[in-house]
A = this chain, B = another copy of it.
Amino acid sequence: MSIKTNEFAALKNVKVKDGFWSKYEEIAKNVIIPYQWDAINDLVPDTEPSHAIKNFKIAAGEMEGEFRGFVFQDTDVAKWLEAVSYRLTIEPDEKLEKTADEVIDLIGRAQREDGYLDTYYLIKEKGKEFTNLLDCHEMYCAGHMAEAAVAYFEATGKRKLLDIVCRFLDLIAQRVGKEEGKIHGYSGHPEIELALVRVYKATGDKKYLDFCKYLIDERGCEPNFFQQELESRNFINMWGGKDKKADTVYCQAHKPLREQKEAVGHSVRAGYLYTGAAHLALELGDKELFNACETLWDNATKKQMYVTGGFGSQVHGEAFSFDYQLPNDLSYTETCAAISFVFFAQKMLMSDVDSKYSDVMERILYNGSISGMALDGKHFFYTNPLEVWDEQNKKVPAYRHNKVKRPGWFGCACCPPNLARMITSLGNYIYSTDENTVYAHLYIGSDAKLSVGESTVEIKQTSRMPWEGKSEFVLSGGEYTFAVRIPSWADKFEVKVNGEKVNCEVKKGYAYITKAWAQGDAVTVEMPMEVKLMEANPLVRADGGKVAISRGPVVYCIESADNGDRLSSIRLENEPMFRIEKDDELFEGSVSIFAKAVKKKAWETDDLYKAFTQSYEEITLKAIPYAFWGNRDDNREMAVWIRY
């Protein structure tokens, strides 16, 4: 009994042509992917060498040397290959494909005869494979390589990497599993689960789905595998220290996923695990598992998500904390965690077309994900706080993970390539279809060719999002339902067909129009895009008395570069008289927001405390899209939440 009701269009069938996202695609093509190539080849000056390609050369016996980098260093190569695959899907590039083929050949030569493929163990810890699933990321690496393999296969039709990966996956499934004699374990860092479903879809071989099911179901069962594994290693962790207890909450293995009600632990691990579980549930028609995923989705997005679409309230464990604990300056909100929830949302939508998923997807896309990248495509935030005070970040260790400027490519390089693959595969998130319906989930300008039942529907979307609330869909003829998301930020909306207003049924945030479409029929969706003050649920202590400025899907912030230091001294006036202005300084076509506000005057004495007096000056506050913050040299403070 299938619970999957619709399927997303493949990337190759949806070409993004968008005023906003095409720029990011260009940056990915022209900057990030070449830059990442240089990075994994240690060609970026003044930056910690990645050593990722060298590790494969050493493992292949083609170079002398030691393993260097993190235990998951191989994934840098895998993620580059995955992004390249999406690039090649968008647009052929012979030279790029040749380079990728050479890397794949190298990976093949590094693979051990039995199929094993993780350079950390091939070089540094020979013989210790599968002895530390908790810390050592073997399956995480396999997962990323598998994602790259599927993407490359789909892009080029070339099976080589897929074959390499399948041999590795087969070896893993020989060693790890339910059966006697196998290790009854699973990965400390989930990722392989979501990859296994993709491999199953690409190969049609159900054993990959079965193995995925094993990994999801075994996780968190008692007696706890990670605790047993730790004991079997005499409590020694991978850093040589001793742990009394395995931190199973950190890696979401404290109880079976089906019993978990709250998002906990490392937020990237969580996002990947949930994505894999949701996809598995779809393929198996496992309603119970899907419901568990929905419970976790609801908890994460309704109680633990920042207004920017960020996840992970604390640096300790880079983790979720608990309901409504959302400090703005201490948040971890890793770029990768935000991205993982885009993946998760997409899976949920395939069974349940509900804007609660796609609204969050949109929120993440325009805010907490791309905030991770500087507009030069070469500098990246690992963490995306909602409030910074540069001096505090620099001088107080508790805040040190947050920066006021994006550093270059860095040691633990998970976020930049994750952004690259998200941006280059965006076409995969816009439309899904079922037997007779096209669902438009995102307002992103694009040309799409979609399968609806037996027929093909072509849609040309023109959109000025996120700056203007009007998008147009030009459809090809046929009888089908066109469903389009009405975002939760839109207080009003108007759907027109060929200029005529139509009343459509709205279900779970989607407007449905069923008719016999003539070739070239145009559906326009208009949503007035007003500046809006958002507030957080009063249970969020950190946002008490504060508002966030938003407009459409874009969350704004204020920076000291525009508003002077001491952003905490600023209070929006009761009638802020918002004014918007096109502002190309940071991003072409961007919109800045101006408002009436007051700012507490600096004191003339050096007192620390004194009797309260009203002493404000009137100012015109300038707010910019959060995603673009931290792009100016002279900026020392930033805040999303503003006193009101």
Contacts and interface: CB of A to CB of B under 8 A. Distances in A.
15 contacts: A301-B608, A314-B397, A316-B397, A325-B391, A392-B541, A533-B611, A534-B611, A536-B608, A538-B600, A538-B603, A539-B566, A544-B568, A544-B600, A545-B545, A547-B612
Interface string A529-544: 0001111111111111
Interface of A: 301-303, 305, 307, 313-316, 321-322, 325, 330, 389, 391-392, 395-398, 491, 532-545, 547-548, 566-569, 571, 600-603, 606-613, 643-644
Nearest to A316: B397
Contact of A612 (B535, B566, B568): B535
A607 B544 CA distance: 15
Question: Which of A397, A544, A548, A610 counts the most B-chain CB atoms under 10 A from its CB?
Answer: A544
B540 A608 contact: yes
A184 to B, nearest CB: 31
Contacts of A532: 611-612
Contacts of A302: 606-608
A391 B643 contact: no
A612 B395 contact: no
Given A303-B608, A545-B643, A547-B612, A321 B395 contact: yes
Contacts of A330: 398
A391 B325 CA distance: 9
A566 B540 CA distance: 8
A314 B396 contact: yes
B314 A398 contact: yes
Contact of A534 (B321, B545, B606, B610): B610
Given A316-B398, A321-B395, A396-B322, A535 B569 contact: no
A532 B612 CA distance: 8
Contacts of A305: 608
A366 to B, nearest CB: 15
A325 B544 contact: no
A608 B537 contact: yes
A117 to B, nearest CB: 35
A44 to B, nearest CB: 27
A332 to B, nearest CB: 11
Contacts of A541: 389, 392, 566-568
A571 B545 CA distance: 8
Nearest to A389: B541
Contacts of A542: 568
A389 B571 CA distance: 25
A612 to B, nearest CB: 4
Contacts of A535: 609-613
A606 B540 CA distance: 12
Nearest to A539: B566
A59 B606 CA distance: 53
Contacts of A398: 314-316, 330, 398
Contacts of A313: 396
Contacts of A608: 301-303, 305, 307, 536-537, 540
B533 A545 contact: no
Nearest to A637: B541
Contacts of A396: 313-314, 316, 321-322, 325
Contacts of A602: 538-539
Contacts of A543: 568
Nearest to A540: B608
A429 B3 CA distance: 77
Nearest to A536: B609
A329 to B, nearest CB: 9
Contacts of A607: 302, 537
A137 B532 CA distance: 58
Contacts of A391: 322, 325
User: Which 8 pairs show the lowest CB-CB distances between chains A and B?
Assistant: A544-B568, A533-B612, A535-B612, A541-B568, A545-B643, A538-B600, A316-B397, A538-B569
Contact of A325 (B395, B571, B600): B395
Contacts of A603: 537-538
A563 to B, nearest CB: 13
B534 A609 contact: yes
Contacts of A539: 566, 602
Given A536-B609, A538-B602, 12 more contacts: A316-B397, A322-B391, A322-B395, A532-B612, A535-B609, A535-B613, A538-B603, A540-B608, A542-B568, A544-B600, A545-B545, A545-B571
Nearest to A607: B537
A613 B535 CA distance: 8
A569 B569 CA distance: 19
A601 B544 CA distance: 12
A143 B398 CA distance: 33
A618 to B, nearest CB: 16
Nearest to A491: B611
A559 to B, nearest CB: 14
Contacts of A321: 392, 395-396
A545 B543 CA distance: 13
A314 to B, nearest CB: 6
Nearest to A565: B539
A30 B202 CA distance: 79
Contacts of A325: 391-392, 395-396
A644 B644 CA distance: 10
A387 B613 CA distance: 23
Nearest to A395: B322
Nearest to A566: B538
A482 to B, nearest CB: 28
Contacts of A537: 603, 607-609
A555 to B, nearest CB: 9
Nearest to A614: B574
